[in-house]
């Protein structure tokens, strides 16, 4: 679990920073407005940070039991 959360967290943060992917285009394939891009970028970074936090907590619990 911590490895998947870590990988997903890194993916979301990198995708939010470089602003590439399907989330940064409308359904018609046109670019989003600046306000919408800012919202999507912030959402990706927040979700990435939460996943990194989950990976940290889950990793500590996993390795402290050994």
53 Cα distance to chain centroid: 12
Q: Average pLDDT in the 22-39 region?
A: 86
Q: Average pLDDT in the 22-31 region?
A: 82
* Residue 64 tokens, joined: 């402290």
Question: Tens digit of pLDDT for each residue in 51-61?
Answer: 999 999 999 99
- Length of the chain, in residues: 66
This prediction has a pTM of 0.84
């Amino acid at each position: 679990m911590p490895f998947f959360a870590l990988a997903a967290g890194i993916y979301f943060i990198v995708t939010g920073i470089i602003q590439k992917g399907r989330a940064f285009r409308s359904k018609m394939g046109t670019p989003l407005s600046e306000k919408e891009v800012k919202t999507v970028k912030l959402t990706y970074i927040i979700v990435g940070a939460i996943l990194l936090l989950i990976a940290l907590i889950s990793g500590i619990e996993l390795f402290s039991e050994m």
